[in-house]
Amino acid sequence: MQPLPGFRDFLPTDCAKRNYIFASWREVARRYGFVEWDGPVLEPTDLYRKKSGPEIVGQLFNFTDKGEREVAMRPELTPTLARVVAAHDREFKKPLKWFSIPQCFRYEKQQRGRLREHFQLNCDIIGEASADADVELIALAIDLLRAFGFTSSDVVVRLSDRGFWGDFLRVRNVPEERWSELLQIIDKSEREPRDKTAERLGSLATDVFQTLDSGGTSERLDQVVAGLQARGLAEFASVDVRIVRGLAYYSGIVFEVFDRGGKLRAIAGGGRYDHLIAQLSDDACDLPAAGFAMGDVVLGELIDATPAVRDRMHARMTAAYEIEIFVVVAKEERRSEAVKQAQLLRDRGKRVDYSLGAAKVGKQFQMAEQLGARTAVLFGDEWPNVAVKDLASGKQELVPHERLLEHVAR
């Protein structure tokens, strides 16, 4: 039996990698003053039908539950966040800086960088309309990647502004009800043959292609770039109006993070969504908002493809999981004393292991080595002394068993 297509089993090394990524995400998000929250995995399907836009709705894992409710596994967290903020608005001082690491589910065609479940770090600022919030979020996205060891030669943030495209469509008298559909076409244009995009754009095609080729900017984009320059992070970002974002609710600055080589799908994406909370509020709670999400799948691929970053991860993973002390039961009649000392060492916070069944001493040393132990403590003929052996140098010292804890602490 295999897992379903697009779902993963997390074997211990996969879990270690996931924990490493999550720990780094949490550490950096907290550095920026973000606090953690979470929402339900299952939501009413309508939440996404109304808010996420057709692309995500086509990818929902949805069903009717036993109470005849139309429900969906969350494909993203932003509609939940908007719902929660609208409901608890009065309980919190603004701006809110919230982060979360949900597992999300999208029935996508499985391909490199795209699965049917993934984890994403979401970071959002609610209640701040100025470009300072956009800059803070983009700086955070950059710092999250720097914390893994990525540099500006590995990753780039492509910045754009939905306002720029709004102006473009308004000037050409395109009715607002068509904007969302047209923005989706522009968003997909990089991944589709030009003639197909042209056909879908109709009479707008020439103007859109000209704009995509020549580039563009906006006042807000200039402010964001200046903000990143002031923080010394400008080399990580470039303005690129080809970024539009597939989700329906974005209303201003949008951005996506890619590998510089352009080989992988987006590592992260986000932007400003100033109208979503009001749309989900029963009592006219109207708060500006912006945020982004960084997925674990593409990030994991880029870590593996970047030797310095991968080596750093392996060193940290080893340090986090290695056993420190292996207790060797050299004589079975010493087992209960050995286990008692192992327990005391664990109480002191040491990572300690030993052979659960009787095993030859040589075999036990092999286990110690496999587990990465630096020290072995032998319980055998020397009792009431124990032999403390440094496994790297082979140096051994006899220590009275009642002084073992003190010795190890030293």
Residue 255 beta carbon to ligand HAM: minimum distance, rounded to whole angstroms: 10
Choose, by CB under 6 A, the member of 53, 252, 291, 300 that binds ligand HAM: 291
Nearer to ligand HAM, 43 or 389 (CB): 43
Among 60, 115, 131, 280, binds ligand HAM (CB under 6 A): 115
Among 295, 323, 386, 401, binds ligand HAM (CB under 6 A): 295
- Residue 32, SS3? coil
CB burial of 4-35 (b: ≥16 within 10 Å; e: otherwise) equals eebeeeeeeeeebbbebbeebbeebbeebebe
- In the complex with ligand HAM, the residue whose CB is nearer, 268 or 378, is 268
Least distance (Å) between residue 165 CB and ligand HAM: 17
- Candidate residues 108, 132, 143, 274; the one interacting with ligand HAM per rule CB under 6 A: 108
Task: Find the distance separating the first CA and the last CA of the chain, reported in whole Å.
Answer: 50
Shortest spacing between CB 281 and ligand HAM, in angstroms: 17
Footprint of ligand HAM on residues 251-270 (CB under 6 A)?
Answer: 266-270
Closest by alpha carbon to 328, among 359, 350, 374? 359
The letter for the amino acid at 186 is I
- In the bound complex, what is the minimum distance in angstroms from residue 272's beta carbon to ligand HAM? 8
Q: How far is the CB of 75 from ligand HAM (least distance, A)?
A: 7
| β-pair type (96-100, 62-64) | unpaired
**Residue 140 or 330 with smaller CB distance to ligand HAM:** 140
Q: Which stretch binds ligand HAM (CB under 6 A): 108-116, 313-321, 356-364, 391-399?
A: 108-116
Q: Which parts of 202-261 interact with ligand HAM (CB under 6 A)?
A: 247
As a whole number of angstroms, the distance between CA 76 and CA 270 comes to 12
Measuring CA to CA, which residue among 80, 15, 88, 29 is closest to residue 52? Answer: 80
CA dist., res. 339 & res. 356, Å (int): 10
In the complex with ligand HAM, the residue whose CB is nearer, 266 or 277, is 266
- Closest by CA to 245, choosing from 194, 288, 184, is 184
Residue 19's DSSP bridge partners are none
Question: What single DSSP character describes residue 95?
Answer: S
Stretch touching ligand HAM by CB under 6 A, among 106-114, 206-214, 313-321, 343-351:
106-114
> How much of the chain is in helix, strand and coil states, percent to nearest 5?
45, 20, 35
| Cα dist from 48 to 42, 89, 311, whole Å | 11, 21, 40
How many residues form the binding site for ligand HAM (CB under 6 A)? 22
**Measured from the CB of residue 296, what is the shortest distance to ligand HAM in angstroms?**
7
Transcribe 237-290 into DSSP letters.
EEE-TT---S-TT--SEEEEEEETT--S--SEEEEE-TTHHHHH-SS-----EE
User: Looking only at residues 41 through 80 of this chain, which bind ligand HAM when binding is defined by CB under 6 A?
Assistant: 76, 78
Asked if residue 297 binds ligand HAM (CB under 6 A), the reply is: yes
99 beta partners = 36, 123
- Minimum Å distance from CB 294 to ligand HAM? 6
The residue range among 180-188, 211-219, 223-231, 293-301 that interacts with ligand HAM, by the rule CB under 6 A, is 293-301
Closest CB 404 distance from ligand HAM, rounded Å: 49
Q: Residue 172, exposed/middle/buried by CB under 10 A (0-12, 13-18, 19+)?
A: exposed
Determine which residue in the list 16, 71, 98, 124 makes contact with ligand HAM, applying CB under 6 A.
124
Near ligand HAM by CB under 6 A: residue from 236, 292, 365, 379: 292
Confirm or reject binding of residue 274 to ligand HAM (CB under 6 A): no
Distance from C-alpha of 62 to C-alpha of 175, rounded to nearest angstrom:
32
Burial call 143-162: b when 16+ CB within 10 Å, e when fewer: bbbbebbbebebbbbbbbbb
Task: Considering only the stretches 111-119, 152-160, 218-226, 398-406, report the one whose residues sit in contact with ligand HAM under the rule CB under 6 A.
Answer: 111-119
Q: How far is the CB of 353 from ligand HAM (least distance, A)?
A: 35
Interface residue with ligand HAM among 106, 158, 162, 389 (CB under 6 A) is 106
Measured from the CB of residue 291, what is the shortest distance to ligand HAM in angstroms? 3
Of positions 169, 277, 298, 378, contacts ligand HAM by CB under 6 A: 298
Give the position of tokens 């959002």.
124
What tokens does 102 get? Answer: 């949900």
Residues that bind ligand HAM (CB under 6 A): 76, 78, 106, 108, 114-115, 118, 120, 122, 124, 247, 266-270, 291-293, 295, 297-298
